[in-house]
Structure 1
């Protein structure tokens, strides 16, 4: 495609999608939904709830451009600050990252990282010191025609959500999950890629011992990386996913939607890093911590009678905080739209992203 034509297509795609950029509104762990940071509401709320999502100043639902890759904004999004709480998950378990929406034109890879916060916990760690190691990545799905079909298509097929598995052999501790979509509709132009990082605080339990080495957030990418400066408007046999190499414990994850059985609130307080789980099986989510560290769960009507199953819709039940601070009408409409879309795809089998 001629350069001028590609640039025009990129500009049109950006203009159409600018008002539809999304954010992660909740994370589902074993059927329990935890709120993310609602950037359309919390910045204007004098008393926002404590959640597991790191805050952001991107109230325009904007992005981080390649010329800011060495700026702290690339770590967890623009002006991000530590989440006040965390959610607990066992090593080897999966979680479902639920976006409120995502524009179809914004095609690109989806990448997930973890960084160990240390014994002090993630609520007080300096984000500039976090060293991220990659635990999952998905890029090109179908390169036979243009524009290319990328990982975001699987997100859209599964109710605007993405499944992530915590490595089974990961050492227990306090971690930041860095989940990111890189939109490449303008990637053919230098500085045209758009990064949308989102961060969440987790406490990982288990008996693993792996402590992967990581990379500072400001060193993950450069503007000249092949997978950043990349044209999706020409057929391709492969796509070089940017960032450091995958952690050796990586295994492909079947992408599917997730049911919500109840809603949970973030656990507040750092405390020491969790110790290894007892030898006797505990069901995968109990690290033997005191009850005060366990997530406070409020039962809510399940969206399906089954527990976490791939074919269910991932629509979060309202939390107490939501009742106190009503969400804007636009978000409500988006949720309804996404719920309908998730049901249309509920009959499909989960797909595994092909890394090329």
Structure 2
């Protein structure tokens, strides 16, 4: 069984070679925690996903930025997979993680690794949403309240954050707020590719989610919004009709809710 794979599975895996990317692991407290990639659909039934949410991005693809897609469940943690035994449609969103969360300490910095990223320019963003209890008990992401903890747009004249990530095994750091209330959270790490953003619906979202258990924190519980309220198709940072102009590169507006003022100074963010 372990030495064989169906032709259909092989065909589905081919795009991984040249397509966009996905998270492969997170380092927290000096320890690496592997994250399950899009090939989870080919693993034996009953295989735990660990801390990773399970998306339908078997082509390493994106969630579109049309009004319908931004209002769907897919915007939170990617599309729902098409797989035997999985009900619903892609718009219902990714399946929650079913294993233990990654243990993190409030005030510490995580390092997440993408297997690869092409030259697509755009911002990178990170959100957290507190689970009402155990994150593994969630049915979907529809009721999660997302609050932003990191954003990075233009990092040097004419260059977006995502443009610095081109290549294989690219890493990003995400700081967990020091005063954040303890508990289990879903961390939403995202790249938005803007090369098609001159058209409405042309921006591409690449959200990736995994669960974390925060300890050593305080009492801060920032307000958030549900996934369908994160963006609209005409947000200045989503629809950028003059994207190729010098003005757009100098005055880009990062989309999404503002970082809670109570978090400023506790997180690593760049508003440019």
TM-score bucket of the superposed structures, by smaller chain: 0.7 to 0.9
- Could you tell me how far 1:70 is from its partner in structure 2? 0.2
Deviation per CA, 1:234-289: give whole Å up to 9, x if none. 113221000001022134867xxxxxxxxxxxxxxxxxxxxxxxxxxxxxxxxxxx
Secondary structure at the residue paired with 2:228? helix
**Which TM-score applies when normalising by structure 1?**
0.63
Is the aligned partner of 1:37 residue 2:36? Answer: yes
Is the aligned partner of 1:94 residue 2:109? Answer: yes
Listed as ranges, the matches of 1:128-139 within 5 Å are 128-139=142-153
Which residue, 215, 218, 222 being the options, matches 1:212? Answer: 222
Q: Residues 109 and 181 of structure 1 are in contact (CA less than 8 Å); yes or no, is this contact kept in structure 2?
A: yes
Q: Tell me what 2:191 maps to.
A: 181
Q: Distance in 1 between matches of 2:28 and 2:21?
A: 21
Secondary structure at the residue paired with 2:165? helix
Listed as ranges, the matches of 1:38-57 within 5 Å are 38-39=37-38, 41-47=39-45, 48-57=47-56
Q: Residues 163 and 253 of structure 1 are in contact (CA less than 8 Å); yes or no, is this contact kept in structure 2?
A: no
- Could you tell me how far 1:355 is from its partner in structure 2? 2.4
Q: Residues 136 and 250 of structure 1 are in contact (CA less than 8 Å); yes or no, is this contact kept in structure 2?
A: no
Q: Residues 186 and 210 of structure 2 are in contact (CA less than 8 Å); yes or no, is this contact kept in structure 1?
A: yes
Q: Tell me what 2:8 maps to.
A: none
Which residue, 205, 227, 230 being the options, matches 2:237? Answer: 227
**Which TM-score applies when normalising by structure 2?**
0.81
Deviation per CA, 1:9-64: give whole Å up to 9, x if none. xxxxxxxx99321000111112211111210x211112434321100111111101
Q: Tell me what 2:254 maps to.
A: 241
Q: Tell me what 2:141 maps to.
A: 127
> Judging changes above 3 Å, is the alpha-carbon distance between structure 1 residues 233 and 216 closer, same or farther for their aligned structure 2 residues?
same
> Judging changes above 3 Å, is the alpha-carbon distance between structure 1 residues 172 and 59 closer, same or farther for their aligned structure 2 residues?
same
Listed as ranges, the matches of 1:1-356 within 5 Å are 19-39=18-38, 41-47=39-45, 48-67=47-66, 68-79=69-80, 80-85=94-99, 86-104=101-119, 106-119=120-133, 121-125=134-138, 126-143=140-157, 148-156=158-166, 159-230=169-240, 231-236=242-247, 237-248=250-261, 249-251=263-265, 354-356=270-272
Deviation per CA, 1:124-155: give whole Å up to 9, x if none. 12410000000010001234xxxx41011343
- Could you tell me how far 1:158 is from its partner in structure 2? 9.7
User: Over aligned residue pairs, what C-alpha RMSD do you find?
Assistant: 2.2
- Could you tell me how far 1:190 is from its partner in structure 2? 1.1
Aligned residue pairs, count? 236
- Could you tell me how far 1:227 is from its partner in structure 2? 0.3
Deviation per CA, 1:65-89: give whole Å up to 9, x if none. 1120000011100111111121110
Secondary structure at the residue paired with 1:181? strand
Question: What residue ranges of structure 1 are gaps of 5+ in the alignment?
Answer: 1-16, 255-352
Secondary structure at the residue paired with 1:245? coil
Q: Residues 34 and 51 of structure 1 are in contact (CA less than 8 Å); yes or no, is this contact kept in structure 2?
A: no
Question: What residue ranges of structure 2 are gaps of 5+ in the alignment?
Answer: 1-15, 81-93
Secondary structure at the residue paired with 2:149? strand
Higher CA-based Rg: 1
> Judging changes above 3 Å, is the alpha-carbon distance between structure 1 residues 135 and 253 closer, same or farther for their aligned structure 2 residues?
closer
